């Protein structure tokens, strides 16, 4: 098994406990670094409510089988067996009370219970199929010497966060054996904007507020607008663009050239509110706006239009309706993202058309792919870890069934 992250550790432990002889390899000295840094160090290990609708894939139904066979409740039960305390944040997100280290320790204990052998660091120089070797087994040339295996599981993750060891190894293995790839791209990542165009908003860095955000196809006709992806989350301004849960969620769906539409005052009839204020207030427009959006945001909005730098009672209805419309439907086009160095996950990966949804085995017999390396990407909020557990479970069950069929 190649890759000692969430999916690899979990699958290795389960398979080992089911009688499979498992060797777990990773080129990094440290184990499960993405678990360690996730959730601010407390690991958002799953979400109470998980379904295919919470995942992106060229085949949105592929994940259904694995997710139904290993549920969030199953993983919660495992944590409870190890007396790991946890808590729920908003929208079903579950975090460790103490530390992400508790999850890592548990997974290592599961591997120990399955008598898993782990070699770290241990890089793989080449992988040859049974057909290539003529021996009936896979042969790996590793830093620790030649390895022979009846089955190989690739659990190497995606390209996100290269500083903790992410590589394209899994994709290269897939290509080597003729498997198709869905083009990878950074996901759950802050979005950036042209420096000059962003200048009026750069001063807002650090400001957060709840918004309604959507992205639409480049064709923004009413028919296509119905296909918009919409999230209600918090937005965070940065020096280079936008972040926060709202934008991280949207970044997985966003494609170069697409626009974002952001309602900075969701749940409000801002045009009517401003017109009522005009009839009863002599305060500056920025001060009135600050009743409904953060003051810094109100100041930045008003500073871009001389017609708004006056008492609200002196503004024209048209000027007030225009500012209300812009705040409720801010349309902007990102120029890019912060890339893999800031991305939490990778969208795309090994094409699910070349994998079994029941077993995670590829069309190359005996070669399996699990976790983030597969073209299944979850929303922000614990969904990607649940995919790691579920795909790892499906693969472990398949390995155990294959082991039972093999002659002693």
Average pLDDT, the chain: 95
**What CATH code is carried by the domain that includes residue 270?**
2.40.30.10
Query: Does one domain contain both 171 and 226?
Result: no
The answer to whether residues 255 and 275 belong to one domain is yes
Residue 139, domain member (yes or no): yes
Q: Could you identify the residue written with the tokens 């929303």?
A: 379
The answer to whether residues 105 and 135 belong to one domain is yes
Pick the last residue of a domain from 337, 352, 384.
337
Q: Report if residue 250 sits inside a domain.
A: yes
Cα 179 to chain center, whole Å?
A: 23
Would you say residue 222 has pLDDT above 80? no
Cα-flanking dihedrals φ and ψ of residue 111, to 5°? -65, -40
Q: Please, what is the angle between helix 383-405 and helix 6-17, to 10°?
A: 30
- Note whether 157 and 15 are same-domain residues: yes
User: What per-residue confidence (pLDDT) applies to 228?
Assistant: 77
- Of 5, 16, 4, nearest to 115 by C-alpha is 16
pLDDT tens digit sequence for 11-65? 999 999 999 999 999 999 999 999 999 999 999 999 999 999 999 999 999 999 9
* Segments in 165-316 forming alpha helices (H): 169-176, 195-202, 222-225, 244-251, 270-280, 285-289, 295-302
- Same domain (yes/no): 380, 323: no
Report the C-alpha gap between 47 and 102 in whole angstroms. 17
CATH of the domain at 100: 3.50.50.60
Q: Does residue 376 sit in the same domain as residue 333?
A: no
Number of domains, the chain: 2
Question: Which 3 state secondary structure label does DSSP give 394?
Answer: helix
239 in the same domain as 119? no
Same domain, 387 and 323: no
Average pLDDT over residues 130-155: 96
Give 133-143 pLDDT, tens digit per residue: 999 999 999 99
Select from 314, 337, 360 the last residue of a domain: 337
Helix (H, G, I), strand (E, B) or coil at 274: helix
Where residue 347 falls (left for φ over 0; alpha for ψ -120 to 50; beta otherwise) is: beta
Q: pLDDT tens digit string along 288-303?
A: 999 999 999 999 999 9
Say how many C-beta atoms besides its own lie within 10 A of residue 247's C-beta.
29
CA distance 175 to 178: 5
Q: Is residue 151 part of a domain?
A: yes
State the pLDDT confidence band at 218, using cuts at 50, 70 and 90. low
From residue 261, alpha-carbon distances to 27, 211, 241, 301 in Å are 42, 10, 14, 16
Q: Which residue range(s) make up the domain with 291?
A: 191-337
The 10s digit of each residue's pLDDT in 63-114 is 999 999 999 999 999 999 999 999 999 899 999 999 999 999 999 999 999 9
The pTM (predicted TM-score) of the whole model is: 0.94
CA gap 407, 334 in Å, rounded:
58
Query: Same structural domain for residues 35 and 150?
Result: yes
Q: Give the Cα separation of 239 and 192 in Å (integer).
A: 9
Q: Find the mean pLDDT for residues 264-290.
A: 94
Residue 217 clears pLDDT 70, i.e. is over it: no
Integer Cα distance of 270 and 192 in angstroms? 28
CA distance 107 to 374: 21
Pairwise CA distance, residues 289 & 328, whole Å: 12
- Domain check: are 376 and 236 in the same one? no
Q: 179 and 143 share a domain?
A: yes
Question: 249 and 333: one domain?
Answer: yes
State residue 296's pLDDT score.
96
Report the side by side order of strands in the sheet with 86-88: 44-47, 93-96, 86-88
In a domain, 1, yes or no: no
321-376 pLDDT tens trace: 999 999 999 999 999 999 999 999 999 999 999 999 999 999 999 999 999 999 99
Token pair, residue 189, equals 């990542």
SS3 state at 19: coil
Average pLDDT for 145-159: 97
Q: Which helix (H) or strand (E) holds 181?
A: strand 181-187
Asked whether the beta carbons of 20 and 119 are under 8 A apart, the reply is no
CB atoms within 10 A of CB 220: 14
> In sequence order, what DSSP letters do the residues of 74-115 get, joined into one string?
HHHHHHHHTT--EEE-GGGEEEESS-THHHHHHHHHHHHHTT
Model confidence band, residue 305 (pLDDT cutoffs 50, 70, 90): confident
* CA dihedral angle for residue 143, residue 146, residue 149, residue 152, rounded to 10 degrees: 30
Q: Is the peptide bond before 121 cis (omega within 30 degrees of 0)?
A: yes
Quick check: is 99 in a domain?
A: yes
CA 304/CA 329 separation, integer angstroms: 16
Helix (H, G, I), strand (E, B) or coil at 59: coil
- Point out the least confidently predicted range of 126-135, 190-199, 219-228: 219-228
Q: Is residue 110 part of a domain?
A: yes
**Of 337, 363, 397, the domain-final residue:** 337
Q: pLDDT tens digit string along 223-269?
A: 555 567 899 999 999 999 999 999 999 999 999 999 999 999 999 99
Residue 331 lies in a domain: yes
In angstroms, the Cα distances linking 147 to 45, 144, 176 are 33, 8, 18
Contact status, residue 231 vs residue 246, Cβ threshold 8 Å: yes
Would you say residue 138 lies in a domain?
yes
| Residue 215 burial (10 A CB sphere; 0-12, 13-18, 19+) | buried
Residue bearing the bigger pLDDT, 406 or 243: 243
């Amino acid at each position: 098994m190649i890759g000692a992250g969430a999916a690899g550790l979990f699958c290795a432990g389960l398979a080992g406990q089911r009688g499979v002889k498992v060797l777990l390899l990773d080129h990094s000295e440290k184990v499960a670094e993405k678990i360690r840094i996730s959730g601010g160090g407390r690991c958002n290990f799953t979400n109470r409510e998980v379904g295919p609708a919470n995942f992106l894939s060229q085949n949105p139904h592929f994940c259904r089988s694995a997710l139904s066979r290993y549920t969030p409740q199953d993983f919660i039960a495992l944590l409870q067996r190890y007396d790991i305390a946890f808590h729920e944040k908003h929208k079903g997100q579950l975090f460790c009370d103490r530390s992400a280290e508790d999850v890592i320790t548990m997974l290592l204990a599961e591997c120990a219970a399955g008598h898993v052998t782990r070699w770290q660091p241990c890089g793989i120089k080449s992988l040859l199929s049974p057909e290539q070797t003529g021996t009936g087994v896979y042969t790996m040339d590793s830093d620790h010497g030649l390895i022979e295996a009846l089955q190989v599981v690739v659990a190497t993750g995606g390209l996100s966060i290269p500083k903790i060891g992410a590589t394209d190894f899994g994709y290269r293995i897939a290509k080597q054996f003729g498997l198709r790839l869905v083009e990878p791209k950074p996901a759950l990542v802050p979005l950036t904007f042209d420096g000059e165009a962003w200048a009026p908003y750069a001063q807002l860095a650090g400001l957060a507020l709840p918004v309604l955000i959507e992205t639409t196809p480049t064709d923004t006709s009413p028919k296509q607008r119905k296909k918009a992806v919409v999230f209600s989350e918090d937005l965070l301004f940065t020096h280079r663009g936008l972040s926060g849960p709202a934008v991280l969620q949207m970044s997985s769906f966003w494609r170069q050239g697409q626009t974002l539409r952001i309602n900075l005052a969701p749940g409000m009839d801002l045009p009517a509110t401003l017109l009522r204020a005009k009839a009863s207030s002599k305060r500056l427009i920025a001060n009135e706006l600050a009743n409904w959006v953060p003051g810094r945001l109100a100041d930045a909005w008003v500073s871009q239009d001389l017609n708004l730098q006056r008492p609200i009672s002196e503004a024209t209805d048209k000027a007030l309706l225009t500012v209300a419309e812009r705040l409720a439907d801010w349309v902007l086009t990102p120029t890019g993202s912060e890339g893999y160095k800031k991305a939490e996950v990778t969208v795309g990966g090994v094409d699910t058309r070349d994998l079994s949804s029941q077993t995670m085995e590829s069309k190359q017999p005996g070669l399996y792919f699990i976790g983030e390396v597969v073209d299944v990407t979850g929303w922000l909020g614990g969904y990607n870890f649940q995919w790691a557990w579920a795909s790892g479970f499906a693969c472990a069950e398949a390995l155990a069934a294959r082991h039972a069929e093999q002659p002693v």
